[in-house]
Structure 1
């Protein structure tokens, strides 16, 4: 007995009307599956920026195999994975796992009888789609951190070298009488802001002037006592998470910097009514990708290792706050992590800091004179 057709977002009868004959039925069914999966994900409040890459990956997998979903087998997944990790630039462990998870989700959708795709494929092509991603042919999630091993926190000297390089670029451009002084100045301010508040790329790019607020506890910081981050990393299917990041005394050098930016430098871009904190020469908002460019340029000029990236400044913020002596819970709240274990992964305290802790511990437990080592 078949499953009764219902108007679930993604149901086959909503995409492939009965009585319509397609010139290329296989292509029509495949396109219908993708359209239906799009609708189903939207009904679960997944963002378009999440859905588009998923759809593109499924098309890429189909093109790689030369087969349609009802023809896929686990062997195709294994061959696809091998292609991803082969060659001169193999993909990261986490990227491969995310690709496999996307294929698993798509197969779960088209094999779910409530949507009718399995039954439709049997009727049209004599075989249903099956799940092709299993525990035995996909990457296991065995580690909390799967990012690039080279990503780490910058030392204090590296942070200073990065900022010096960004400032020097302003002076060089001005000295040559070339255009771009304001843009270079903005880039230096952005990099320092990312570090001073531990921001992600999206969070920094989406900052508005009004997001900076007073902290009644520290009136001398004026309107830069805190920043409301409104575009934090979202949970699956959820809205962007918000948090308030307080300006800490060790980073209060950023207050004068931001005051100068808002009052003197930003107006020279002629932003008009645009709310963005960091604007472009065309009076728009800077992009996340541009922030990466700004970091790489300053890091190259400073002679820093190539494996460091903009996100390393966020790692640096976490590490340095802990070294300053802030409680782990406060650091966790400042950077917007849901779990302390995630914050711990960002931490790479220096040998000097660990030695200070060790010296303090040894002072609490003095060894008797002449005792064995």
Structure 2
């Protein structure tokens, strides 16, 4: 096949003028570099996608103690069994993502257009093949592969979480310890996540200028809506943007944000830093800190361990639907491309479903059946 200057091609990565003393590791590193270049050409995220994939291939190579041109499907099966064993086995969705990444790497090095087949056969007398097949990898057969324990919080659980976060502020204040402002910030963060159905990264990347007036809800002032500029991106695309409106059932968030922006945040002396959520060191809060804020409040509230920060987003979707908002509006508020995704987030209460049933029976009395 004719040599083509594709991103990641062997002749563009390997130095033809160098004679390697140990060619095997040099070729393997060149393969990884070539695959990284090929992914960059598709505008995939380096930190979020490319680096983890390359790390996984290194991990798999270390497990097999072989190079890609020596791999067989049996090695993939042994690797799968290994990561499913032990005290902390990988969940199904993680294993499926691993299989997908290894499949893509094998597709890359086994594609003759990139030159790695000819390079390996010439140097080692072997060439890479596809090792991830339908019969030895996890199939994606269901829409939702998350942990069964993840669910929406009930209204009482949401209140208990917020009460625990507020109580932490008072507890730190009474002890006279440093950290009152941080505790106050963490309580406001949890309420904001729930009030707007935000993802962790979306919350952490908010700036003070992202809040806007809503001409149809002037009573909320500056906090009539929030512009989310770092929404979840599709592969090879920049972060998605959306505007989330403040809904009447969540209008208490206006007082929370007003207090934070006008009274509490200035005490951290953020200067010209644009971030809405700043640390005591005048930097933007990390996503890890957002997770820790939820974990601490959850422990204080004695809520189930399987609940995580993302459960507040599930709660937002569920509660908006229970408030009576159309599914399409809820879908747009949370930034889902498909209504089916929003449906997966929904776990309405029995009371809500019974209320809908009663409304339907009242609208259609002919559906009532006389019991004897």
- Pair 1:296-2:265 in alignment: no
Structure 1 consecutive aligned stretches of length 4 or more whose deviation exceeds 4 Å: 367-370
Rounded Cα–Cα distance in structure 1 between residues aligned with 2:136 and 2:45: 29
Shift of 1:369: 9.2
Give secondary structure in 2 for the equivalent of 1:227: strand
Give secondary structure in 1 for the equivalent of 2:188: helix
Rounded Cα–Cα distance in structure 1 between residues aligned with 2:330 and 2:265: 30
- Write out per-residue CA displacement over residues 147-183 of structure 1, whole angstroms, 9 at most, x where no aligned residue: 1110000000000000000000000111111111000
Rounded Cα–Cα distance in structure 2 between residues aligned with 1:79 and 1:287: 37
Aligned position for 2:35: 37
Aligned position for 2:16: 18
Q: Where does structure 1 lack aligned partners over 5 or more consecutive residues?
A: none
Aligned position for 1:155: 154
- C-alpha distance 221-70 of structure 1, shift in aligned 2 (>3 A): same
- Write out per-residue CA displacement over residues 9-28 of structure 1, whole angstroms, 9 at most, x where no aligned residue: 10111111223111210000
- Tell me the C-alpha RMSD between the 2 structures: 1.2
Counterparts in 2 of 1:217-256, with a 5 A limit?
A: 217-256=216-255
Shift of 1:365: 3.7
Counterparts in 2 of 1:186-335, with a 5 A limit?
A: 186-335=185-334
Rounded Cα–Cα distance in structure 2 between residues aligned with 1:273 and 1:27: 48
- Write out per-residue CA displacement over residues 55-75 of structure 1, whole angstroms, 9 at most, x where no aligned residue: 000000000000000000000
TM-score, length basis structure 1: 0.98
Aligned position for 2:77: 78
Give secondary structure in 1 for the equivalent of 2:135: helix
Give secondary structure in 2 for the equivalent of 1:114: helix
Rounded Cα–Cα distance in structure 1 between residues aligned with 2:38 and 2:363: 61
User: Would the aligned equivalents of 2:361 and 2:367 in 1 still touch at CA under 8 Å?
Assistant: no
- C-alpha distance 67-363 of structure 1, shift in aligned 2 (>3 A): same
Shift of 1:92: 1.2
- Pair 1:346-2:345 in alignment: yes
Q: Where does structure 2 lack aligned partners over 5 or more consecutive residues?
A: none
Rounded Cα–Cα distance in structure 2 between residues aligned with 1:330 and 1:106: 40
- Write out per-residue CA displacement over residues 283-326 of structure 1, whole angstroms, 9 at most, x where no aligned residue: 00011111111001000000100000000000000000000000
Rounded Cα–Cα distance in structure 2 between residues aligned with 1:309 and 1:19: 54
Give secondary structure in 2 for the equivalent of 1:242: strand
- Pair 1:61-2:94 in alignment: no
- Write out per-residue CA displacement over residues 221-267 of structure 1, whole angstroms, 9 at most, x where no aligned residue: 11100000000000011110000000000000000110111111101
Counterparts in 2 of 1:104-183, with a 5 A limit?
A: 104-183=103-182
User: Would the aligned equivalents of 2:231 and 2:241 in 1 still touch at CA under 8 Å?
Assistant: yes
Rounded Cα–Cα distance in structure 1 between residues aligned with 2:242 and 2:364: 41
User: Would the aligned equivalents of 2:225 and 2:245 in 1 still touch at CA under 8 Å?
Assistant: yes
Rounded Cα–Cα distance in structure 1 between residues aligned with 2:11 and 2:60: 25
User: Would the aligned equivalents of 2:193 and 2:199 in 1 still touch at CA under 8 Å?
Assistant: yes
Rounded Cα–Cα distance in structure 1 between residues aligned with 2:21 and 2:367: 90
Give secondary structure in 1 for the equivalent of 2:291: helix
Rounded Cα–Cα distance in structure 1 between residues aligned with 2:149 and 2:305: 9
Rounded Cα–Cα distance in structure 1 between residues aligned with 2:184 and 2:85: 42
Give secondary structure in 1 for the equivalent of 2:119: helix
TM-score, length basis structure 2: 0.98
Give secondary structure in 1 for the equivalent of 2:26: helix
